[in-house]
Homo-oligomer: A and B are copies of this chain.
Amino acid sequence: MPVTIKDVARLAGVSPATVSLVLSNKGQVSEETRRKVLEAVQKLGYRPNVLARNLVKGKTRTVLLCAFIREDRKLSTFYGDLINSLLAATSSSGYYLQIVVKGEFFNGHPLDKREALLDIARNRLFEGLFILSHWPVQYPEVSDLVREGFPFVVVNQRVEGDGVSYVDIDHYGGAREAMRYLLEQGHTRIAHIRGPQGHRHAEERYRAYLDALIERGIPIRREYIVEGDFRRLSGREAMERLLETRPLPTAVFCANDKMAIGALQVAKERGIRVHEDLTIFGFDGIEAVKYTDPPIPTVEQPLGELGKVAAEILMERIQGGEGKSVVLPCRLVEWSTV
C-alpha cells in the first residue's frame, strides 16, 4: 500500500488536483495551501508514481539502445566507450537510457528485426531509439519507424533513405590515413591482413588499401593480401603466411588491432625488429595496443564521439527536428610508453 496523491490530499485537507498543482508548480496556489501540501508530502514521504504520470503525459523521458549483435559477442567490450557517451549525453538531456540486446535469433527463428522495431515504437515505453547493429541495416527494416514518425538514429551503420538519420565512422578514410602514414614513411611493399569477406567495415578498409596503392602506382601483389577473421589468432596465422613471401613486405596494415597484436607476436618470435625492419599498423584504437612492445600505431575509431553525436541527433528528432546523418573521421594515433 504505497502512499498516493490521494493520501497526501486527505492529510493536507485539499483535493488531489491541488497537490498535483503544488508539486508541479503550476496554477496559482496560496502560500498557506502550498505549505500544508508540502508538509503532508514530507510527512508521508510521498513520491509520485512515475508510471501513472508517464501514462497521462504520454512521455517517459526514456530512450532505448537496441543492439543487434551476435549472441556470443559482448556489447560493452568493444562498444564500451559508445555506451559511456550515450549514457552521459542522454542523461545530460534529462533522458534515461535502457539497453536491450537482440541476437540473430528469437525463439529459434531468425529475428524479425522489422517486427521487433515496430514493437518498440508502438509500446509507448520509449521516446526514441538508437539502433546499433553489427551487421548492415536495410531500409525496409526501419521504414515502419519512419512512417510512424518515431525518432531513431542508426549507429555505426549507414542506411540511405528518406527520414533516416545515421551516425557512422569513416572506415575508408581512416584506412586511407593509415596508408598515407605508411607510404609517407617510404614503404612500398605493404601487406594487408584484411577482415572477413562481406563485412562492410573490412571491405571499406580493404578498398582503401587498394586505392592507396593504385593511386601511387604501386602494383598490387596477391600474396600480400591475407584474410583474417578479426581475431588475434587469425592475425598470427596471417603473419606466418606473409613471412613466407619474397620479397618480404616492409609494412603490414592490419584491418584491426587484435590481428595486429597477433601479427606483432609472430614477428617478434621470428626475431624481426618491429618498426625497424617491419612496421605493423592496426585499426580500432583498443587499449591493448598502447602497451605492446613496441606500441602499435593505429587508427582510432571515435566511439565516444559517435555516441555523443548520435545522442544529439536523437534529441533533436525527439523535439521534432529534422535530424541529419554524420560520418565521423578516425584519428591516427601513435602511443609512447611514457
**A residues whose Cβ falls under 8 Å from a Cβ of B:** 2-3, 45, 47-52, 54-55, 60, 62, 74-77, 80-81, 83-84, 87-88, 91, 96-101, 118-119, 122-125, 236, 261, 265, 268-269, 286-293, 337-338
Contact = CB atoms under 8 A, between A and B. Distances in A.
A134 B218 CA distance: 54
Contacts of A54: 51
A263 B181 CA distance: 31
Number of copies: 2
Given A97-B99, A118-B45, A268-B293, A51 B62 contact: no
A299 to B, nearest CB: 18
Contact of A45 (B122, B124, B292): B122
Given A50-B125, A97-B98, A123-B49, A261 B55 contact: no
A50 to B, nearest CB: 4
B125 A51 contact: yes
Given A45-B122, A49-B123, A91 B83 contact: no
B99 A87 contact: yes
Given A48-B123, A236-B338, A265-B337, 11 more contacts: A2-B122, A45-B118, A74-B84, A76-B84, A77-B81, A88-B101, A91-B100, A91-B101, A268-B293, A288-B288, A289-B291
18 contacts: A47-B123, A48-B123, A50-B123, A52-B55, A52-B124, A74-B81, A76-B81, A77-B80, A77-B84, A83-B83, A87-B99, A87-B100, A97-B100, A98-B98, A236-B338, A286-B287, A289-B291, A291-B292
Given A76-B76, A286-B287, A118 B51 contact: no
Contacts of A84: 74-77
A100 to B, nearest CB: 6
Contacts of A286: 287
**Which of A45, A83, A292 neighbours the largest number of chain B CB atoms within 10 Å of its CB?**
A83
B96 A98 contact: yes
A247 to B, nearest CB: 27
A131 to B, nearest CB: 17
A62 B98 CA distance: 9
A142 to B, nearest CB: 16
Nearest to A336: B265
Contact of A287 (B47, B125, B287): B287
A80 B76 contact: yes
**Which of A80, A291, A292 neighbours the largest number of chain B CB atoms within 10 Å of its CB?**
A291
A235 to B, nearest CB: 11
Nearest to A55: B51
A47 B122 contact: yes
A234 B269 CA distance: 30
**Which of A48, A96, A99 neighbours the largest number of chain B CB atoms within 10 Å of its CB?**
A99
Contact of A124 (B51, B96, B268, B288): B51
